[in-house]
Amino acid sequence: MSSRARLADIAVKAGVSEATVSRVLNGKPGVADETRQAVLTALDVLGFERPTRLRRRSAGLIGLVMPELINPIFPAFAQVIESALSQRGYTPVLCTQSPSGATEEEYVEMLLERGVSGIIFVSGLHADTGTDHGRYQSLVERNLPVVFVNGWLPGVEAPFISCDEYAAMELAVSHLVALGHKRIGFASGPERFTVVQRKLAGYRTTMKAQLGLTDADLDELVELSMFGVEGGHAAAQRLLDADVSAVVCGSDMMALGVIRAARQRGLDIPTGLSVVGYDDAPMMEFTDPPMTTVRQPVNAMALAAVQSLLEEVRGHTTPHTEFLFRPELVVRNTTGPHR
């Protein structure tokens, strides 16, 4: 790429003139700090290398530990968190797990060896009630700043950032009841995860309150499988046998599996089956049909996680409690009136 083309691209991205870009890159005076930062950010976003004199030293390494990147909601969190950390001078270190790769515990050891300033855990083992949570307490006891996203650990003195899963299921079930549905199934991951427990509680309470169903009635409408498309597909097979007219899902990926199972049985979406996802992961508005889902406020949650962690890194006290963020129902085309 020519020098002129590069200047033009940066200028468009930053919303300034090519002359301003040139002054910033050459370290010339006469450019406002805000404008200079916009040019540098555009340079980074477009993948151009900063001139040596404009490179800033990292304020420290911050670990970002996530379960995987297959579900697009996790890259969405990672993008916002990494961008926010970089803008504040910190270097993010992304650690994602895979069946044959490093475990969360191994990643934490690696991060500690590299002297990270803090760690953000997103949907990690802290949300799994079947695992030993002593590892997190030991991190707190060694005064390492940590923040947890989606998953609550009583007794661990740290900030927790969560979407209100209970409220999310209230929104989803209420939407379907308003459309005339009565046999509404629930498909989610294993119950040992706190996020699933909360969603299930929200689903059960709302179904009882709005439809007068008993626990026995609801037992045949609940299917807990594995997270992901295949898990949703398996859960849907059993729920369709139970003659449901709608399904509320614990994630958008599971909802895609439910839709696939319904279509294999010749059911149209939403006339044959209404489906509600959870997350509003990127691309859900472009599925066929576009998915009705409950949106996690990813930007707000991710920025809150970064802010809480960096306050701890700087030695300031932050509330060691759980911050609940309100979800939003996004109605698209996978839900319709009961027929």
Residue 336 is assigned to a structural domain of this protein: no
Does residue 288 share a domain with residue 190? yes
Where do we find the tokens 């049985």? 265
Does residue 185 share a domain with residue 308? no
Query: b/e string for 75-95 if b means 16 or more Cβ within 10 A?
Result: bbbbebbbbbbbeeebebbeb
Does residue 201 share a domain with residue 287? yes
Residue 332 is assigned to a structural domain of this protein: no
**Which DSSP letter does residue 248 get?**
E
Residue 137 is assigned to a structural domain of this protein: yes
- Find the DSSP H helices in the chain: 3-14, 18-25, 33-45, 73-87, 104-113, 134-141, 165-178, 194-211, 215-219, 229-241, 252-264, 298-313
With a cut of 70, say whether residue 3 has pLDDT above it.
no
Q: What is the pLDDT of residues 116-127, one digit of tens each?
A: 999 999 999 999
Does residue 229 share a domain with residue 108? no
Q: Work out the number of other CB atoms within 10 angstroms of the CB of residue 125.
A: 21
Residue 275's beta-bridge partner residues? 247
Residue 333 is assigned to a structural domain of this protein: no
**C-beta of residue 291 within 8 angstroms of C-beta of residue 69:** no
> Residue 275 and residue 186: Cα distance in Å, rounded?
10
Does residue 175 share a domain with residue 78? no
Give the DSSP H or E segment for 335: none
Tally of domains within the chain = 3
- pTM flag (> 0.85): no
Residue 91's beta-bridge partner residues? 61
Give residue 129's domain range.
61-163+297-325
Range of lowest pLDDT (139-143, 254-258, 334-338): 139-143
Domain boundary among 18, 34, 54: 54
> Residue 68 and residue 194: Cα distance in Å, rounded?
18
- The strand pair at 160-163 and 322-325 is best described as parallel
Does residue 259 share a domain with residue 111? no
Does residue 71 share a domain with residue 9? no
Contacts of 144 (CB under 8 A, 6+ apart): 112, 116, 118, 119
Q: Confidence class of residue 37 from pLDDT cuts 50, 70 and 90? A: confident
Residue 18 is assigned to a structural domain of this protein: yes
Does residue 284 share a domain with residue 177? yes
Q: What 3-state class would DSSP assign to 38?
A: helix
pLDDT, residue 56, reads 56
Does residue 169 share a domain with residue 317? no
With a cut of 80, say whether residue 58 has pLDDT above it.
no
pLDDT, residue 24, reads 85
Does residue 280 share a domain with residue 200? yes
**C-beta of residue 187 within 8 angstroms of C-beta of residue 239:** yes
Residue 330 is assigned to a structural domain of this protein: no
Does residue 303 share a domain with residue 292? no
Give the DSSP H or E segment for 145: none
Domain boundary among 39, 54, 69: 54
Higher pLDDT, 25 or 209: 209
Range of lowest pLDDT (4-8, 160-164, 214-218, 274-278): 4-8
Residue 186 is assigned to a structural domain of this protein: yes
Dihedral over Cα of 210, 273, 223, 329: its sign: negative
With a cut of 60, say whether residue 57 has pLDDT above it.
no
CATH of residue 21's domain is 1.10.260.40
What average pLDDT score do residues 80-109 get? 89
With a cut of 60, say whether residue 274 has pLDDT above it.
yes
With a cut of 70, say whether residue 162 has pLDDT above it.
yes
**Which DSSP letter does residue 193 get?**
B
Does residue 200 share a domain with residue 276? yes
Per the structure block, which two tokens stand in for 150?
């989606």
CATH of residue 311's domain is 3.40.50.2300
Residue 244 is assigned to a structural domain of this protein: yes
> Residue 276 and residue 274: Cα distance in Å, rounded?
7
> Residue 115 and residue 113: Cα distance in Å, rounded?
5
Q: What 3-state class would DSSP assign to 12?
A: helix
What average pLDDT score do residues 76-90 get? 93
